[in-house]
Amino acid sequence: MNSYIHILLDLDDTVFDFPLSEKTAFNKTMEKLGIEDADSLRAVYTVENTKCWKQIEQKTMQREEMFWRRWANTFAAAGITSDTPYLEINSMYMEELSKLGIYLPGAEEFMKKLRSIPGITISLITNGTSQSANGRIRASGIGQYADYIFVSHDIGYDKPDVRFFECVLNTVKDTDKEHYLVVGDSLTSDIKGANNAGLPCCLFAKDGRFPEGAENLRIDYKTASYGEILNIIRG
Ligand SMILES: [Mg+2]
């Protein structure tokens, strides 16, 4: 019998289709900048942006640097220049992104079913900037299913920092760690964070392709199905 009553749910690539939001926001931004072939440039951006976020997780880069660095690196790698300052490009992109809270297929139904389980609390836990994360939460309406929302930029710590999770535990106000279940798609932020904080965890892969590099991590559950997550919680 499981005893999970506080569900800590990651957003991007767990319930939100971040690649689709990112693609839409990126293409709109490039259109405004008059840059053609946005699809090729987006492939470069995805690589550079991911590198920056890994550095933030590892604390080798500050968030403020990331705001311009990801664009500087993208444009340099693609061999193009822009008259618009990188920070301004970032603002344009974030503005577009903040309007786009797009669910993965089946995810909204999952949220409704999760909400209908009696006696549980739901916390949304996301690494992201305040503007984009809170904007996308608002746009999607997902807040109606949640008791608590934790955006790393608002808290001051990013997953997998244990202080991010301490903030969650202090808010939920239950000291029994066995009552918590972290659900997320990322080994480096969600699963590592759950390991750091000593919380049970479930690795979710929307397409059934589980990431590599899990050797030194404790993963209590692995699933590609929202139904299975509900079954785990229902015990
Ligand atoms: Mg995620």
Structurally, at CATH architecture level, domain 6-16+102-234 sits in 3-Layer(aba) Sandwich (3.40)
Q: How far is the CA of 80 from the centre of ligand 1 (A)?
A: 30
Residue 181: which residues within 8 A CB-CB, separation 6 or more?
A: 2, 4, 6, 7, 8, 199, 200, 201, 202, 232, 233
Q: How far is the CA of 83 from the centre of ligand 1 (A)?
A: 33
Mind listing the pLDDT tens digit for each residue in 125-136?
999 989 999 999
The domain limits of the chain are: 6-16+102-234, 18-97
Q: Does domain 18-97 have CATH number 1.10.150?
A: yes
Instruction: Give the number of other Cβ atoms within 10 Å of residue 115's Cβ.
Output: 13
Mind listing the pLDDT tens digit for each residue in 140-160?
999 999 999 999 999 999 999
Q: How far is the CA of 147 from the centre of ligand 1 (A)?
A: 19
pTM: 0.90
Mind listing the pLDDT tens digit for each residue in 184-200?
999 999 999 999 999 99
Q: Decide if 124 contacts 149 (C-beta within 8 A).
A: yes
Dig out the tokens for 46 from the structure: 């995805």
